[in-house]
Structure 1
């Protein structure tokens, strides 16, 4: 994906997360702490974004996703995009669990169709399209830790064909109890209760569960609402060691005529897992030793699509030209005139992705 020097503009954003991120006029001015290992979305008044008649028929995650998409379209001043592409790691697990539970309890008779209809992976993309009467391209990717990356990949390829198009792209995952219980047994989440803001002080296995929905209006043309430029994106699956990731990042930057000295700040996708963070910790001590360092998963938790939160974070840093204290690893250093941000995310130490963002 690095062979063609094309610019992709993020012209609008809408995000709901465990922090108060739905208001684009503020940037992490209020930090919410959690004393449990499950972080759930902070939501606005849904009726401000969704028709009340439609609202009562939707489950919680569909409300969150549709609200995030609506905020994004309003921010970009786009009434109906040319296409909608979403990604998710596990989809609507709560609705799936309700459907399967009823299937067993009712012995496969007189089942409620709503649970099934709202449990399919593409339910959100279809709902958004119906709400804004978008008859264009519509697709959903379900690929765990690379779901959002595949969404971006698809959108970028389509914008190369027509840079005038506006694609509404997004990702969502929920903090479902059924997933949490299964992940605890696999040591993906911590067994001991911690305070989320202390995530990176722990030295144990596992992370904390997060959820959220983030949407971006991506186009090949800038507008008066542009946040930043997405210069390029790349992902690597199951690298054997930190050297492989280092070589991939170096090649990625070189393909975009960028050096490490050009990077003002890098966003670290470490998850607080003593085992899965080994490669990320090695990168911070070697390749990125001299680059300003921030982390984010203590705010949003870990999920398959946490990289979408990181993209919002990078875009917000470039737009607002500030780095909130809660993100900083290098607290003694000050920054000004931010022009380039590199995001390096990892999921379960298998899925690594890189996003290069530039100030407009």
Structure 2
């Protein structure tokens, strides 16, 4: 069975994660409960005429994928796989508002056409004239992992040599107001938001676009090997440790073999206990990393987590800003990522040098 390598990454987030080495320009915003993406210069990647008609999520996906492909030194791929939780929510809101405001008459179709979840993957394909397999997964908080698993299986089974896979989600005004109403997002005026050791419900919301070029061969640009991936819809808190031990055993590993664990803490006191139990027990002697204080929580935030893990393996450094304990290792060769959202959609991702 062929191995899967991460040969290029492109990440747009609430931090300046493009045109930098690894979080050297990152700033922790403790005062806002919604984090917005730091925009690149779109005209460097997309013509201003085309860009004018595109929603932010589409533009972010095109730019992130361009960065990933440039790093991997490829001009085209065999397949494009996208994961998204909410799709192009800005255009969805725009179209629904137009329906109401215009009394269901005289509607322009642009916003509707561009509101579908698969628009990002389609626009990336049009940009590079890729006529291969193009698929979009909309699976809540495992949307990105579903795409990652699909890509890994295709490379292992020799169906593709080079695949672009990513996760994209954008903020929308109306959906944010609904999330706040539902209590998903932390209450306004409750800052500073510390993320770790929070005592209130809700999380800091964010948006982002992260893409990866997965290939069947190791190159100079290689970040890491994508070793294995597992998805579970529902798990109880007391089942997580056993699940991880079994997952590692499948790959001939034990907890002591893990050089660092990346946990998806998001500040929600109700569900962060899933991570806290692991941090205080099974992985008490392992370097621990968290990242959602920098990018916020959204359905495909775990893509930012994979970008973080890939950077750690390649640079062999962990920036102080993402350390949640002070334990260090002489080398970071094997990293485990664990993510869940609201107690559901659990994913375990294993990468190695």
TM bin (shorter chain): over 0.9
Report the Cα distance in structure 2 between the residues aligned to 1:163 and 1:104, rounded to whole angstroms. 46
User: Cα offset for 1:76?
Assistant: 0.8
Which residue is equivalent to 2:261? Answer: 266
Give the TM-score of the pair, scaled to structure 1: 0.94
Give the TM-score of the pair, scaled to structure 2: 0.96
Q: Give the one of 146, 150, 164 matched to 1:150.
A: 146
User: Cα offset for 1:352?
Assistant: 1.1
Question: How many residues are aligned here?
Answer: 352
Which residue is equivalent to 2:69? Answer: 73
Report the Cα distance in structure 2 between the residues aligned to 1:211 and 1:194, rounded to whole angstroms. 21
* Matching of residue 221 in structure 1 with residue 217 in structure 2: yes
Which residue is equivalent to 1:165? Answer: 161
Report the Cα distance in structure 2 between the residues aligned to 1:184 and 1:203, rounded to whole angstroms. 17
What is the root-mean-square deviation of aligned Cα atoms in Å?
Answer: 1.5
1:357 counterpart SS class: strand
Which residue is equivalent to 1:28? Answer: 23
- Greater mean alpha carbon deviation, residues 203-212 or residues 242-251: 242-251
User: Cα offset for 1:196?
Assistant: 6.9
* Matching of residue 319 in structure 1 with residue 308 in structure 2: no
Report the Cα distance in structure 1 between the residues aligned to 2:348 and 2:335, rounded to whole angstroms. 10
- Per-residue CA shift, 1:189-235, capped at 9, x if unaligned? 11143557622242100101110000000112212211111111111
Which residue is equivalent to 1:175? Answer: 171
Contact 1:163 1:220 in 2 (8 A): no
User: Cα offset for 1:33?
Assistant: 3.4
* Matching of residue 62 in structure 1 with residue 58 in structure 2: yes
1:232 counterpart SS class: strand
- Greater mean alpha carbon deviation, residues 344-353 or residues 187-196: 187-196
Report the Cα distance in structure 2 between the residues aligned to 1:278 and 1:339, rounded to whole angstroms. 27
Report the Cα distance in structure 2 between the residues aligned to 1:236 and 1:281, rounded to whole angstroms. 19
Report the Cα distance in structure 1 between the residues aligned to 2:48 and 2:171, rounded to whole angstroms. 25
How do 1:86-97 residues align onto structure 2 when only pairs under 5 Å count? 86-97=82-93
* Matching of residue 41 in structure 1 with residue 26 in structure 2: no
Q: Give the one of 338, 343, 349 matched to 1:349.
A: 343
Report the Cα distance in structure 2 between the residues aligned to 1:180 and 1:59, rounded to whole angstroms. 17
* Matching of residue 11 in structure 1 with residue 4 in structure 2: no
1:140 counterpart SS class: strand
Report the Cα distance in structure 2 between the residues aligned to 1:177 and 1:166, rounded to whole angstroms. 36
Which residue is equivalent to 1:289? Answer: 284
How do 1:225-240 residues align onto structure 2 when only pairs under 5 Å count? 225-239=221-235
- Per-residue CA shift, 1:251-306, capped at 9, x if unaligned? 11010111111111101111110001122111111111111111111111111111
Report the Cα distance in structure 1 between the residues aligned to 2:48 and 2:68, rounded to whole angstroms. 20
* Matching of residue 245 in structure 1 with residue 237 in structure 2: no
Contact 1:235 1:353 in 2 (8 A): yes
Q: Give the one of 320, 335, 354 matched to 2:329.
A: 335
2:194 counterpart SS class: helix
Report the Cα distance in structure 2 between the residues aligned to 1:193 and 1:251, rounded to whole angstroms. 43
* Matching of residue 106 in structure 1 with residue 102 in structure 2: yes
- Per-residue CA shift, 1:112-165, capped at 9, x if unaligned? 211111111000100010110000000001111110111011111211221761
In structure 2, stretches of 5+ residues that fail to align are: none
In structure 1, stretches of 5+ residues that fail to align are: none
